[in-house]
Amino acid sequence: MSGGPILDENGKLVGIHGLTYSQSLGDGRGTPEEYGIPLQTFLNAPPPTPSRYTKLEALLKAQDFQEADLETDKVMLAVANRQSEGWLRVEDAENFPCQELRTIDNLWLKYSQGKFGISVQQEIYKNLGGTKQFDVNVWRSFGDRVGWRKQGSWLDYKDLNFSLSAPTGQLPGDWSWYRVPAWYRVPDFPPVKTCRV
């Protein structure tokens, strides 16, 4: 039975039943071939990507980082139920669900070879001395490090480098901060590496 248990001779669960296929022996007889998934393979399999991230994953896989960045913003607004406002408040960032944050971060990490992601940005920010207490000098240094600033000025979104040659941590970027200060982005989200799912 598909999805049923596969037990060894001692009754220990060793797999999940998958498919039964009947091999014809001729003269109307056949022998069943049964296939299953070993238990460890099943337990170690990464969870499927939730459907709300299908488009984001496709864009990242294609290395269309600009469209993936815009899609990340849409997904994050949807998770926080802030689509109509178009931006997140500090409390939205602080209460952002860890599982959703990890999914977004893991997708960026996977398809950028570890170069982009919220956890990458948090690590850079922390290493520059950043804390939850906003410090304009740390924020400027962060902008310089991730390539959001050049020669002391903040770049326009269109001037960013949306390729793997961009500075580490440049993406994802929440560019709603031109409308609302988004220094919350990095310090106020739960730490991706330690948040509990």
Domain extent at residue 15: 5-44
In a domain, 194, yes or no: no
Q: Are residues 69 and 114 in the same domain?
A: yes
Question: Could you tell me the pTM of the whole model?
Answer: 0.71
Q: How far apart are CA 142 and CA 124, in angstroms?
A: 7
Q: Are residues 168 and 119 in the same domain?
A: yes
6, two tokens:
């596969």
Q: For the chain, how many structural domains are there in total?
A: 2
What amino acid occupies position 125? Y
Q: Are residues 55 and 39 in the same domain?
A: no
Q: Are residues 67 and 140 in the same domain?
A: yes
pLDDT 10s digit of each residue in the chain, 197 long?
A: 566 777 778 877 776 766 666 666 677 676 666 677 776 766 666 666 678 899 999 999 999 999 999 999 999 999 999 999 888 888 888 888 988 999 999 999 999 999 999 989 989 998 999 888 888 899 899 999 999 999 999 888 889 999 999 999 999 986 554 433 344 456 666 676 666 54
Q: Are residues 34 and 56 in the same domain?
A: no
Burial group, residue 62, by CB count within 10 angstroms (0-12, 13-18, 19+): exposed
